[in-house]
Amino acid sequence: MNTLLSSIKYFFIITAELTVLFLGISTIVALVLMYIPQEKIKNWMNSKGLWGYFIGAFVGALTPFCACSTIPLALGFLEAGITFGAVMSFIIASPLLNPIILAMLVALMGWQVAIIYFLIVFSGSVFFGVILEKTGGPKLVKKVRLVGGGPGANEVTPESFRPKLKLSFLKAWGDFRAILIYLLIGVGIGAVIYGYLPQDIVLKFAGPNNPLAIPIAAIIGIPLYIRVETAIPIGVALMQKGMSIGAVIALIIGGAGMAIPEMSMLAGIFKKKLVAAIIGVIFFTAVISGYLFNIIL
């Protein structure tokens, strides 16, 4: 009975925390984006040198998009003549870095974890954007045209602050409703793990003493198609049972970055060789991040 009550308490506390965080952070981000014209973002991304890659990764980190919005937006950037490498940095960073992910990491794992995660993944997004640009990636883009101008193309932005704030909250609420089931599943599984999974099993197969736990965790995340909102609560519960933080980070990056639906959408605009390269990049990022986390923490 005590175990059941602990699991229920865990479920409701984590759900409440993540609900407040998601709505608050999403509203703020949507409001900020209303004050930054998309044309200005495109001009920044088209800057010469590393600055364009940094902006691409930053835009990906700032925008809490799902794959259904990320891919059309990336295609729109390519059609607008944005540097290929900057668009690749955007594509890599978008599913792995956004204010929601960072807020969840801060709330559930602490500031140190969130900062290290951001620095590693952001640097990887910039680095691999450069690599994909320099190794012939631009030649592997299919000739596909964007219909309708992409996400938000026909949206009218209010001029005054209050209507903008209201619209931002409505967007945040719509996004929250879309991910609510994933969040509840993640917290629910986490609560069961927290209450009932034997600690010895986790330590044996995914503890800090098993060097293969990190690449295995990264691979396991791919077919699961676990959204970050689902993966982080599960990861926290597994950490409390003894799973190494590196394996948890690898699971989060692998599941969110190499999700099968997103890769299928990428295959619609990129040739197979480039899609395979992106999968390799995400896997490498997941594994390296996992080992670095175990070393640093």
User: Residue 145's closest CA among 235, 268, 262?
Assistant: 268
CA 33, CA 75: separation in Å to the nearest integer? 19
Q: Angle, nearest 10°, between helix axes 111-134 and 84-96?
A: 150
**Residue 152 — pLDDT band, cuts 50, 70, 90?**
low
Q: Is there a contact between 262 and 67 (Cβ–Cβ < 8 Å)?
A: yes
Q: What angle do CA 251, 69, 104 make, to 5 degrees?
A: 40
More confident residue, 261 or 215: 215
CA 55, CA 132: separation in Å to the nearest integer? 16
Q: Is there a contact between 245 and 273 (Cβ–Cβ < 8 Å)?
A: no
Q: Is there a contact between 49 and 86 (Cβ–Cβ < 8 Å)?
A: no
Q: Mean pLDDT lowest for which of 225-229, 231-235, 264-268, 276-280?
A: 225-229
Output Rg (C-alpha) for the chain, integer angstroms.
19
pTM for this model (two decimals): 0.77
Tens digits of residue pLDDT in 202-219: 667 667 777 788 888 887
